[in-house]
Amino acid sequence: MTSLTPISSTLSLRAVAAAALGLLAACTRPADPAASAVPEVKQAVAAADADQFVADINQWREANLPRLSAAFWLASTYINDDSQLLSAKATEEMLEYVTKKVGESRRFAGVDGISKPTQRAIDLVKLGSTLPAPSDPAQREELAKLAAKLEANYGAGKWCHTNAAGQNECLRLQEIEAIINNVELKNTPAQMAEAWAGWHATAKPIRKDYQRFAELMNVGAKEIGFANTGELWRGGYDMSAAEFDGEVERLWGQVKPLYEALHCSVRSKLNEKYGDAVVPKDGLIPAQLLGNMWAQSWGNLYPLMEPYQGVSSLDVSASLKKMRDDELSKIKAAFKGKPSVVQLADMEHQADLAMATRMTRIAEDFYTSLGMPKLPDSFWTKSQLVQPRDRDVVCHASAWDFDLQHDDVRIKMCIEPDEENLTTIHHELGHIYYYLNYKDQPPMFQSGAHDGFHEAIGDTVTLSLTPKHLQTIGLVSDVKQDERAVINEQMKLALDKITFLPWGKLVDQWRWRVFDGQIAPDQYNAGWWKLRAAYQGLAPPLARSEDDFDAGAKYHIPANTPYTRYFLAFILQFQFQKALCDAAGFEGPLHQCDIYGNAEAGQRFMAMLAQGQSQPWQDTLEKLTGTRQMDASAIIEYFSPLMKYLEEQNKGKTCGWNPGA
């Protein structure tokens, strides 16, 4: 992700590939009432046909995944009209194949004698598409072209304005984020609001396109038996859509008090810094002040929020930036003569690539310490690790699996030398190592137990990047283990992990309401900010109207990537970590556990990953944790020291907020 919180996973057209190649696009039809009267020999033939149906899909995936993935990779790493055309054609080809197989899958409803693996594969065909396509070829082609256009608009987005020096400049997202991130707390609220508005304006051109995109997906969803696309998405969790809604609400209820306590403390500190005119003592926080373009994680506010100033250095970014500068110094020292401007730019690029590679090696080392294999050589030659100097790319971080033999796995990032990017790399390699661990499953089962599992793997690993671990690998110094140091450490992590939770839930709440009509097209922006006020307690920095399309400024909306998976992942990662720490024999506080190099934890982890999507996620979860239910108690346990601290800090303050304020 372009210096984003590690919530990335896969790119939109890559997600299209996963959905289409996985053939997850229909619903269960009522059984034929005459099925029981079919002679046994026909039942046996039908069961055999079902086996062949699944075998054909697996074979098609193996034959076509490399070619189609190449088209999507090109569209993300070389943004132009030609690559958009290729990706749109690839999407259209896949959607046509999906539509055909959806129709064929219906003939197996109610048939006896189908084996459990075959029935599960057929069920996956029935319940999982993120891009349901209409059966009409013209509409299907239109949907594919819109998918490519929406993604390209995001990747090419720039804010062009007159800077303080009176010069016209156009900034990419990474450069705009540097203003919003405000890591030195020097930018004014007005400066950050201007930058915030500049990026959000890049989504305005796609508002009408997104409306049509949603309409076409709903056509496809209805054709295969769902009320709308949102109902289809919620049906892919080995439970009904209604049951899934209940699970998400239950989990949110568990973690909501953590967020509200942190929100109260942050609002108080921002009020002290900027005054009542900018941040009210008991109202909504302006979204541009939280150190992230989307206010989805607030880690850049740590210098403001640090509970005990100077107790234990946690500045990983400073260490990484120094390493990068050292790389540049070595390159310059090896150059004879005075370099030209072009040569200096090339040296900068070499230093960026060397540092990005070094950071990726650090992440790889953690996984190999658990017994997992080294990344293939092709990973290092084919991955995009830095922003190319000569073209626009989609910098949003993503992990790619080009073939089902897993000889070609890659990540696509524009890595910067800071802690956020180091965490993101660990996250993306979590996807890669999931691919490598379930490689022996049939192609139809080569996916996460559910999509939240896939997002949680790398994040689980990052929970072991404790201050002690970071000191061991030379990224921090002066690490203390007293109570004050623990509170500092927990505050730093909570500003990323806890603040994300309501955001992780609300993105799809908005989208599902768009799909089912509760939020009409003429209320897209109002509906977006109503949810952000309700869940996050945030307000836009500037007046907004229905000319704006602020939801579209978040990658996953134009990318059509479901987002609740990230909310689930932020719950599951702590649940996984607790189980792995128990397996490792760790007996201390959960927040101090580091599973690096523990063979038993590694074996338990890999055993879970190897299951892929071959069985209901409840079975896979039980194998690792001993329970069949997602549960937030581990995250509550993990942050218990911070919660006690916040309770003391918030005494006498008016916490909470009025969403309508």
Whether residue 391 is annotated as binding a ligand: the answer is no
The reply to whether 120 sits in an annotated binding site is no
pLDDT tens column, 370-401: 999 999 999 999 999 999 988 888 898 999 99
Residue 565, annotated ligand binder?
yes
Output the pLDDT for position 128.
57
* The predicted structure's pLDDT at residue 160: 95
Q: What is the pLDDT of residue 33?
A: 27
* Residue-range domain boundaries for the chain: 12-153
Among the residue ranges 248-257, 314-323, 345-354, the one predicted with the least confidence is 314-323
User: For residues 296 and 504, what is the distance between their CA atoms, to the nearest angstrom?
Assistant: 8
Q: Which residues are catalytic?
A: 428, 556
Q: To the nearest whole percent, how much of the chain has pLDDT over 90? A: 77
CB atoms within 10 A of CB 420: 23
Alpha helix (H) ranges present in 224-280?
229-234, 241-274
563-605 pLDDT per residue, tens = 999 999 999 999 999 999 999 999 999 999 999 999 999 999 9
- Residue 42 has a pLDDT of 43
Mean pLDDT of 209-224: 95
Average per-residue pLDDT for the chain: 90
The reported pTM is: 0.88
Q: Is 396 annotated as a binding residue?
A: no
At residue 661, the pLDDT reads 60
∠ Cα 260 262 263 (to 5°)? 65
Confidence of residue 26 (pLDDT cuts 50, 70, 90): very low
Reduced DSSP (H G I as helix, E B as strand, rest coil) percent helix, strand, coil of the chain, to 5: 60, 5, 35
Q: Is 604 annotated as a binding residue?
A: no
Q: Which helix (H) or strand (E) holds 332?
A: helix 316-333
Quickly count: other Cβ atoms within 10 Å of residue 240's Cβ. Answer: 12
Q: Which of 198, 247, 261 is closest to 649 using CA atoms?
A: 261
Q: How far apart are CA 408 and CA 436, in angstroms?
A: 10
